[in-house]
Amino acid sequence: MEERGSPDGDPARNLEQGPEGPETPIQVVLRVRPMSAAELRRGEQSVLHCSGTRTLQVSPPGGGPGVAFRFGAVLDGASTQEDVFRACGARRLGELALRGFSCTVFTFGQTGSGKTYTLTGPPPQGEGVPVPPSLAGIIQRTFTWLLDRVQHLDVPVTLHASYLEIYNEQIRDLLSLGAPRPLPVRWNKTRGFYVEQLRVVEFGSLGALMELLQMGLSRRRSSAHTLNQASSRSHALLTLYISHQTQMPPVDPREPPAGGKLCFVDLAGSEKVAATGSRGELMLEANSINRSLLALGHCISLLLDPQRKQSHIPFRDSKLTKLLADSLGGHGVTLMVACVSPSAQCLPETLSTLRYASRAQRVTTRPQAPRSPKAKPLQHLETELLQLQEESRHLRSQLGQMDPKASGLSGARVAWAQRNLYGMLQEFMLENERLRREKRQLQSSRDLAHGEQRILAQQVRELERRLLSACYLQQPGPGPAPLCPCVTVPPLLCHVLPPLCPRCQLCPLCHAPLAHWACPRRELHLPQVFGSKAPGDGPLSTQPPPWVPPCCPSSVKGSRERSHSEWTQTQVLAEMLTEEKVIPSAPPLPVGPLNTSPVLRGGVAVPNLARRLEALRDQIGTSLRRGRSQPPPR
């Protein structure tokens, strides 16, 4: 015997596992209704035999080879409504819906096979007469369980419901306040396919929900035909929306709230028009039903094809496939209850349903809790709030550790610590003030020294200029050479005035080029400096150099022996110099390291200048004294 197997194990276990994996197959439960009284009267035989809890065997009436089908669960005609409810794992689906998943239960099968009975029990016996609790279907039992479950949740939950039917490819609101009118199906990125302007009713009790169910059932189109006295002529979709009160409500109040969904789909049964004897409007309805079921079967076939799974699935071919798109190929969790009649008369449709259901259970979805974009910022804020609370707790605990009472410090020790800290603070403030004063004094001293330095440098330059001019004016004859200017003036200054000659010698001390008047060959270029007529009697070329720097070995002797002309020269020089009295002075300078920058120390250069000025003065004074004590030669 051929067996069509289910890829899954125990249905209850599979359903209890939940959508933890990346892909979850559609769960299929098969229900075989009992032989009806009419079928028994006609002497029809049953061709279906349940083998265990998961296998159904189909035995052809003529005795040919049988076929076996495996499903998540197989329930025979003796099963009660409660058995079906348990086998379907409807409670698990309800839990998933509470966690935010989109769950769907849909019944499928030939007309008269027991789909509506499985979902909602037998047709109402009269206006306002409720279904007996023992015959209540999956919907009522799930409602009862859900309302009870919600009451025991920590987080308050808001419940809404909508109920619609697809009749002749038109969507009608079964909960509309007025007469139902066709509603359009729209699509957007966040909601997928949805029915526009569908009434979504909030309810708070099981009674209210049952009333909504009865209202929809009573408004749903049904007709009598050969196979079913109360045949549904439309596909009906009853949806429960479960949202937590922490979730953001929708901007448009007509939109269903974001959160979990639990949808029950009661499909109209496929029917052979010849078998049901439908005429006129009934035939039109049957064609419409069959067309939409065909579209559903086509989508399932394409979803099964591994190569075409990623390609286009024609969900737009019918309103039914549009509204089931998420349940079949999207992010929902889906359960199919396939219903079959055991009668041999219905075998072709039964085999078709079984093959259809076998294929469906190989279709997989990727369950994912829907998150609307409006809920995302809220979730982000919640996360941030939790982080802040954690941080606050951490800081508080740290503060508790620093608390003297918590750390066990005595009051005396705290007072001592505080006093010490206060004392240290005062000391630092005084020290700071003292350093500030010192800094101010140093700055003023430095400024003063700079000023003095400038004045002295100016005076030294003037004295040098006069000294050099006097040397030229006197034009001394042979005799001891004057001092090299680099001894008395800074090297850079000593050769600046008068201008340098490119052919001059270098000073042996400072290695700077000597001034033209100190150059042994100065006669060659003096006219360029003083003009065509040089001061003095004789030609410059015949006169010896005014002096040779004392640092030069040849000048040692000359510095000791002074001639008359030397005294004359010194006297003139002294007269020129004594025109202006220069008294070097400088304020006491702060003591600092020797290698400190002159600018920073504010006057290291000043004593040098003063010393040099003093040397000049001494030299001039000595010369004057010598000049006065020795009369000039006649």
Shortest distance, CB of residue 199 to ligand ADP, whole angstroms? 25
Nearer to Mg ion, 116 or 569 (CB): 116
220 binds ligand ADP (CB under 6 A): no
CA distance 120 to 213: 9
- The interaxial angle of helices 90-98 and 81-88, nearest 10 deg, is 50
Nearer to ligand ADP, 234 or 364 (CB): 234
Per-residue string for binding with ligand ADP, 96-115, x by CB under 6 A? -------------x-xxxxx
Q: Which of 85, 87, 105, 99 lies closest to 145 in space, CA to CA?
A: 85
Per-residue string for binding with ligand ADP, 149-188, x by CB under 6 A? ----------------------------------------
Shortest distance, CB of residue 39 to ligand ADP, whole angstroms? 10
Of 66, 122, 124, 587, the residue at the interface with ligand ADP (CB under 6 A) is 122
Rg (alpha carbons) of the chain, rounded to whole number: 58
Nearer to ligand ADP, 287 or 445 (CB): 287
Size of the site for ligand ADP (CB under 6 A): 18
34 binds ligand ADP (CB under 6 A): yes
Q: Which residue is nearest to ligand ADP (CB)?
A: 114
Q: Between residue 504 and residue 563, which ones bind ligand ADP under the rule CB under 6 A? A: none
**Tokens 């279904």 map to which residue?**
131
Q: Is 618 exposed, middle or buried (0-12, 13-18, 19+ CB in 10 A)?
A: exposed
CA distance 38 to 588: 133
185-188 and 67-70 beta bridge pairing: unpaired
33 binds ligand ADP (CB under 6 A): yes
Residue 117 interacting partner from Mg ion, ligand ADP, none (CB closer than 5 to 8 Å by kind): ligand ADP
Per-residue exposure over 451-486, b if at least 16 CB sit within 10 Å of its own CB, e if not: ebbebbbebbbebbeebbebbbebbbbebbbbbbbb
Nearer to Mg ion, 33 or 612 (CB): 33
Residue 111 interacting partner from Mg ion, ligand ADP, none (CB closer than 5 to 8 Å by kind): ligand ADP
Looking at residue 255, what DSSP letter applies? S
239 binds Mg ion (CB under 5 A): no
CA distance 74 to 28: 9
Shortest distance, CB of residue 247 to Mg ion, whole angstroms? 35
232 binds Mg ion (CB under 5 A): yes
Q: Which stretch binds ligand ADP (CB under 6 A): 185-193, 224-232, 238-246, 534-542?
A: 224-232
Of 147, 339, 470, 613, the residue at the interface with ligand ADP (CB under 6 A) is 339
Shortest distance, CB of residue 34 to ligand ADP, whole angstroms? 5
Size of the site for Mg ion (CB under 5 A): 3
113 binds Mg ion (CB under 5 A): no
Nearer to Mg ion, 75 or 456 (CB): 75
Q: How far is CA 407 from the centre of its chain?
A: 40
Per the document, the length of the chain is 634
Q: Between residue 227 and residue 246, which ones bind ligand ADP under the rule CB under 6 A? A: 228, 230-232
Q: Which stretch binds ligand ADP (CB under 6 A): 116-124, 145-153, 403-411, 494-502?
A: 116-124
Per-residue exposure over 102-116, b if at least 16 CB sit within 10 Å of its own CB, e if not: bbbbbbbbbbbbbbb
Contact by Cβ (8 Å): 212, 200 = no
Phi-psi group of 112: left, alpha or beta (phi > 0 → left; psi -120 to 50 → alpha; rest → beta): left
**Tokens 């276990």 map to which residue?**
13
343 binds ligand ADP (CB under 6 A): no
Per-residue string for binding with ligand ADP, 266-295, x by CB under 6 A? ---x--------------------------
Q: Alpha helices, DSSP H only, in 475-563?
A: 485-488, 491-494, 526-530, 555-560
Per-residue exposure over 226-249, b if at least 16 CB sit within 10 Å of its own CB, e if not: ebbeebbbbbbbbbbbbbbeebbe
Nearer to ligand ADP, 104 or 228 (CB): 228
Half-sphere exposure in the Cβ direction for 443 (13 Å, CA): 6
342 binds ligand ADP (CB under 6 A): no
Nearer to Mg ion, 140 or 232 (CB): 232
Residue 162 interacting partner from ligand ADP, Mg ion, none (CB closer than 5 to 8 Å by kind): none
Nearer to ligand ADP, 69 or 117 (CB): 117
Nearer to ligand ADP, 260 or 342 (CB): 342
Shortest distance, CB of residue 227 to ligand ADP, whole angstroms? 8
Of 79, 113, 116, 488, the residue at the interface with Mg ion (CB under 5 A) is 116
117 binds ligand ADP (CB under 6 A): yes
Shortest distance, CB of residue 273 to Mg ion, whole angstroms? 17
Q: Give kind and range of the element (H or E) at residue 264.
A: strand 260-266
Cα dihedral 385→390→396→400 (10° resolution): 170
Contact by Cβ (8 Å): 233, 222 = yes
**Tokens 């702060």 map to which residue?**
590
Is the Cα dihedral 388, 390, 391, 396 positive or negative?
Answer: positive
Binding site for Mg ion (CB under 5 A): 115-116, 232
Binding site for ligand ADP (CB under 6 A): 33-34, 36, 109, 111-117, 122, 228, 230-232, 269, 339
